[in-house]
Structure 1
């Protein structure tokens, strides 16, 4: 039975996060999500997915896109009803329990912090293309300082920079698709390019159904960050209109870009020459451009994917600072992290959120190429846990809201929500049996137990004796 008092009680949670500036447009919301999702996951992580699945990686990304579509339906419905920077963390607190809100916020914050580490590790790899003798940590520190400054000024400036970064990525991907299409259609017979590469090296499913499913895990990491729209909605000019427009535009662009670019890569270069499981020397995009023998093409593409990684880092710094801000305003983190600068930016939360970059710098110095794989396996836990919790929260959300009162409704409820929860549960369990992801639950389960203990210890400390 819907509870008419619930919206009022949620307003009490949302009011804690006052002070943020509502100045982001629908276009900027969409570009923030694209900025986070079109980065290392596509330009570098795709080589991991190809290594697991071969040409069947296209099926893997289709499954990942289906899960993402289901998630976005749930997110759009709840975000239109409750636009706040706490987003799914605030919803979990409200519709499930304060403990759930605590776990979701911290798991997401940690996931994006470590995802920041994957992006900055990728930056070190990209810069090696031009400067092979300079240590990666030099680039990590330099680019981090620049992006922290961008985020610390004001949200409007951040939105402008991110919009520019993301627009450049979109133009570059479109140019890559056009150039790749021209290379394929103009390639002479016997060149080793074309659809024949989809089946010539072990068939379309060289590693069978299991390899295809494991690649789904990488695809989820690639689509991870699309949920940033829900977090950024707390600073949108017109949340209800902006959110629905941004979700639709973002999903269509992501699916189009991921599937088409992977299809072109697999047709130009045999999958056995682009795949990687343990370490990466360069992006498969650079490998493709090298194969075309167009002068300077590989360097241009390497520059573009460098911008893509910096764009993703920019978005992720924004999101982690807002989630830590929400934790602080909820009383789940020190009050210092809930303070705002005169420009309305949570600068203390922003600075702490660079922790993942520090971890990446250390891992990069010790393990070099393997740093990316380690950080991917760790960061993916928080992402999958939060996505699973979004489906669970949505089931509770609908139990308290009549469908005809919602401005935006998830199609096919409850079956679509249950399907999403089932697929995400299967993905999480699968990490136990995929060697490349053995760190995922090894890190994730103890992390949740530690968070739970911290929650109860904190609650006990603030209760009167």
Structure 2
């Protein structure tokens, strides 16, 4: 799951021409650490269930789509450096309505991402305490996250780098141990599953399974637009594309290598969405320490992502209010604790409460629904990035073709959720939120046009 700790800050802000302090390779490493999240550690199990070994191809296709999106965003950043990122570029390309809807779509996707993270943490905690209901764990993590935000723990931000290292180290540890298991260095309780390149083995549910798994592959790369925001901190803004390319190469290698190891180590029937596929893959081997260490590492890192996302969503709504894209009440802050945006935090907390209630009512499907809906909303913003680039950048025919290819991949991931009945409800949730945002945008746009005519009319 993406660690999206920042939002469309200063979406209509002034350009930034100052020099940053981050080198391109440092941004690449930050991007890798921030992007790997619980969505990958747990969500990939759902993708394996639908696609089988071909989940590897889903992640390769998603890497291509992600590359296209980031490359265009990085080019816009290099040409016109802005603090506001993709929301600013959407407004620049299509008008105020696009920036408004982009900002609220991003806020909504982050609320769903928080819900997905919260549920993932609860599911992972059931690894040790299977009899405790999902909603109880979700409630505990939600309260702890809110307390950290309320206390204004400044040291928490400094710990983010450490948590990123923990996540990355966990998956690299799996790749190393899995390689040793495949080569027979580590003994297991059973034989390796037979595998061939026949279609039934590669695509156990046919092309529909591969299609449905695309959303979970894209979701694992989620957060790339946040790295686009961080590109403003580069010493040389023109190195943003290079930073993104290196980051994606590293991410794709880690994802593809670990998933290939997982599907080779154990039968596909053994995977389930109640535990990480990497824990499942090594369950037949004499490694009593691994499941507990790996699970604990994911929970620590996942909780940091949840809290960082709560910080980000809260601040995003404050920014939207300052820009006139949200009610002014969300701009207000309490002096004690230090500059606490209580109304904005309250609305974000409502989203967390809704996730807890959903976990109570739909404990079996809540993670799939929230992850699917969050992934779809994320891809809507990615589509905004591509469409904005079409209008803002002067591109050669090859660049336009690449952008169209990116839109096709995004559309494929979204429509794939319709093909699978068990995750289709997540598609409906995303459609409901998009329709609501579109309706509000329509009325706001009429208001803006009326105000504009009033300014233009003679006094």
Q: What TM-score comes out, normalization by structure 1 length?
A: 0.82
8 A contact 2:214–2:416 mirrored in 1 = no
Q: Distance in 2 between matches of 1:240 and 1:350?
A: 33
**TM-fit CA distance, 1:435:** 1.7
8 A contact 2:41–2:298 mirrored in 1 = yes
**TM-fit CA distance, 1:98:** 1.4
**TM-fit CA distance, 1:256:** 1.6
**TM-fit CA distance, 1:16:** 10
Residue 284 of structure 2 is aligned to residue 288 of structure 1? no
Alignment partner of 2:252 out of 248, 251, 255: 255
**Which is further off, 74-83 or 185-194?**
185-194
**Structure-2 residue corresponding to 1:5:** none
Alignment of 1:42-191 (within 5 A): 42-148=40-146, 157-186=155-184, 191=190
**Which is further off, 428-437 or 181-190?**
181-190
**TM-fit CA distance, 1:305:** 1.8
**Structure-1 residue corresponding to 2:4:** none
**Structure-2 residue corresponding to 1:4:** none
Alignment of 1:206-225 (within 5 A): 206-225=204-223
Residue 414 of structure 2 is aligned to residue 417 of structure 1? no
**Shift in CA distance, 345/72, structure 1 to aligned 2, threshold 3 Å:** farther
**Shift in CA distance, 51/109, structure 1 to aligned 2, threshold 3 Å:** same
**TM-fit CA distance, 1:430:** 3.4
**Structure-2 residue corresponding to 1:38:** 36
CA deviations on 1:405-438 (whole Å, 9 max, x unpaired) are xxxxx99412211211222223333333332332
CA deviations on 1:245-281 (whole Å, 9 max, x unpaired) are 652343223212211110111111112211x4xxx32
**TM-fit CA distance, 1:327:** 2.1
**Which is further off, 317-326 or 64-73?**
317-326
Q: Distance in 2 between matches of 1:390 and 1:146?
A: 35
Q: Distance in 2 between matches of 1:227 and 1:61?
A: 18
**Structure-2 residue corresponding to 1:14:** 13
Q: Distance in 2 between matches of 1:252 and 1:140?
A: 34
**Which is further off, 130-139 or 368-377?**
130-139
**Shift in CA distance, 82/320, structure 1 to aligned 2, threshold 3 Å:** farther
Q: Distance in 1 between matches of 2:255 and 2:228?
A: 22
**TM-fit CA distance, 1:72:** 1.2
**TM-fit CA distance, 1:332:** 0.9
**Shift in CA distance, 159/82, structure 1 to aligned 2, threshold 3 Å:** farther
8 A contact 2:54–2:203 mirrored in 1 = yes
Alignment partner of 2:264 out of 254, 267, 288: 267
Residue 191 of structure 2 is aligned to residue 192 of structure 1? yes
Residue 317 of structure 2 is aligned to residue 324 of structure 1? yes
Residue 451 of structure 2 is aligned to residue 452 of structure 1? no
CA deviations on 1:259-312 (whole Å, 9 max, x unpaired) are 1110111111112211x4xxx322212212322121222111111221232243
**Shift in CA distance, 436/26, structure 1 to aligned 2, threshold 3 Å:** farther
CA deviations on 1:316-369 (whole Å, 9 max, x unpaired) are 334433432332232111234345788788665455334432222111112223
**Shift in CA distance, 434/364, structure 1 to aligned 2, threshold 3 Å:** same
**Structure-1 residue corresponding to 2:419:** 433
Q: Distance in 2 between matches of 1:347 and 1:83?
A: 31
**Shift in CA distance, 144/447, structure 1 to aligned 2, threshold 3 Å:** closer
**Structure-2 residue corresponding to 1:389:** 384
Residue segments in structure 1 that go unaligned for 5+ positions in a row: 1-10, 404-409
**TM-fit CA distance, 1:442:** 2.4
**Shift in CA distance, 302/355, structure 1 to aligned 2, threshold 3 Å:** same
SS in 2 for 1:13: coil
SS in 1 for 2:367: helix
**Structure-2 residue corresponding to 1:379:** 374
SS in 1 for 2:102: helix
Matched pairs, number = 436
CA deviations on 1:166-199 (whole Å, 9 max, x unpaired) are 11111111111111111111167994226x3455
**Which is further off, 304-313 or 214-223?**
304-313
Q: Distance in 2 between matches of 1:318 and 1:228?
A: 14
**TM-fit CA distance, 1:145:** 4.1
8 A contact 1:85–1:231 mirrored in 2 = yes
8 A contact 2:93–2:391 mirrored in 1 = yes
8 A contact 1:391–1:417 mirrored in 2 = yes
**Shift in CA distance, 44/269, structure 1 to aligned 2, threshold 3 Å:** same
SS in 1 for 2:201: coil
